[in-house]
Amino acid sequence: MVAATIDAKRRGPSSLVTREYCQLMARYNRWMNERLYASCALLPGEERNRDRGAFFDSITGTLNHLLWADRMWLGRFMGPPCEVPAFGADMFPDFEELRSERDITDQSLLEWSASLTSDWLASTLVYTSKVDGKTRRIPAALAAVHMFNHGIHHRGQLTTLMSQAGIDPGVTDLPWLPGVVQVVD
C-alpha cells in the first residue's frame, strides 16, 4: 500500500482522478441539487431569503454561490467563461429561475464529465481568479476535485440553513446515490 501511494504521488493527481470518478461526482452533484432544491421549494420565499448569518447570508445566497462556482469552474474547463463577479450570491434572486439555471448547469457538468480524457486530467489549468485577480496554475485533475469538494462543502452549509428553517434535507451521503451501493440484506 505504501509503495502504491508513493508511486501515485510521483505521477500526480491525474493518476488518482479518472473520468469515471468525475462522472460519479457529477451524478452525485445533480442528485443532491435536485433533492435540495425540491426541499427548498417547500419554504416560502421570505424564509429562503432570510439572513441566517451564513457566509452567503441566506439559503438563496448559498444556492446562487454554488451555481456560480460550478459555472466558474466549467467555464475554466471548457468555456465560455463565467463573467459574473466574484461569489455570485445575487445572480438569480427568483427561485424558479435559479432552479432552472441549476438544472442547465448540472446537465453541462454531466456532459463535461463524460467527455473527459486522461490527457485533459493530466494537463495544467491556467486561470485568473475572479476573487483576487491573480493568475494561477493548477493540475486539471486537482481543479476537478476541488470543484466537486467545493460543492459538497457549501451543500453542507446549505443543509444546516435548511435545518434552521425546519426542513430536513434527508440523507446526503454518497452511498445513498442510487446505483452506487448494493444493499445485500
Tell me how many domains the chain contains.
1
Mean pLDDT of 101-127: 97
Per-residue model confidence (pLDDT) at position 12? 67
User: In this structure, is residue 56 part of a structural domain?
Assistant: yes
pLDDT band at 185 (very low <50, low <70, confident <90, very high): confident
User: In this structure, is residue 6 part of a structural domain?
Assistant: no
User: In this structure, is residue 175 part of a structural domain?
Assistant: no
**How large a percentage of the chain has pLDDT more than 70?**
92
| Four-point Cα dihedral 22, 24, 29, 34, nearest 10 | 150
Per-residue model confidence (pLDDT) at position 3? 47
User: In this structure, is residue 99 part of a structural domain?
Assistant: yes
Compute the mean pLDDT over every residue in the chain, rounded to the nearest whole number.
Answer: 92
Domain containing 85 equals 16-166
Per-residue model confidence (pLDDT) at position 89? 80
User: In this structure, is residue 119 part of a structural domain?
Assistant: yes
Residue 2 has pLDDT above 60, yes or no: no
38: domain CATH number? 1.20.120.450
Nearest Cα residue to 62 out of 174, 166, 153: 153
Q: For 117-145, give one letter per residue: b (16+ CB within 10 A) or e.
A: eeebbbeebebeebeeeeeeeebbbbbbb
User: In this structure, is residue 8 part of a structural domain?
Assistant: no
As given in the structure block, the three cell numbers for residue 89 are 450570491
